Structure 1
Amino acid sequence: MKGLLLKDFYTIWKGGRIFLILYVFMAAVSGVNIQNGWSYMGFWLVMMDSQTSSTFSYDHSCNWNRFAMTMPVTRKDVVRSKFLLQLLIVCGSTLAYLVLAALVSLVLRTFEVKAFCNMLFAAWLVLWVVLLMGSVSTLLLF
């Protein structure tokens, strides 16, 4: 399972470095405008979840399924690794987003506790919506 996760992380890192700039920019923009920053967070999480879906197309172009049949991994392990990858990416990116937005708003002195608490609540809701949406799309891709 660890090897399957590493394969997917390397795939995302190799193909998604340009998106990292976009993600940092979006967190900075929401930190500047912490009152309405939760809308940027929705975009951020959907884009991060789409990185999980992009691993399917890479696997298909490399004939990964044919190669995976020769390895000592079961189909269940492959499915579990995709869902675990999605969970790790979405939860990790939510945490990274909140930290970056808070740091930018602290540096610019626009931080408000009430606005940040609203952003935390919105993060909780958006996290579950994105996980549900990503789980359904992952099932459809399998």
Structure 2
Amino acid sequence: MADYFTRFSCLLDVGTPQNAARAYEAYLALCNDFYAETETLCCGFDLTIESNPSGSQLWIRSEDHGDPEAVICFVLRLAHDLDLTGLWGFTYAVTCSRLRIDAFGGGAHVIDLGARKSIGATSTQDWLAAALNGEHPHA
């Protein structure tokens, strides 16, 4: 039997240590809500505050069963709650513990924090399918 994984690791700078603390509290609340609904301890990603000198960076990651959509929703919520601005994005990898056809790939997302919306995304699997169909191979 094969195990499938979605992995990512990225930083989000929320500006101040106080914002980082608020973000972490929001993350814990999200995890508690998710557990109450599903009795599962994972809400799609892990989050810690980086111990760099600024103390304002969040490390968002998943080693196995990550949910990029959960990250997007959470970051959009933080953008609203903390009045974040600028562009932010992350990449993810789709892997498998055994060699399987169509089990590997990845993608990326870009979010406009100030506009509070996702402005772009790509999937390697979607891109490959489109390129093989003769649709925009350089896009």
TM category (shorter chain) comes to 0.3 to 0.5
TM-score, normalising length: structure 2: 0.38
- Which structure features the higher share of helix residues? 1
Higher RCO (Cα < 8 Å, 6 or more apart): 1
- Which structure features the higher share of strand residues? 2
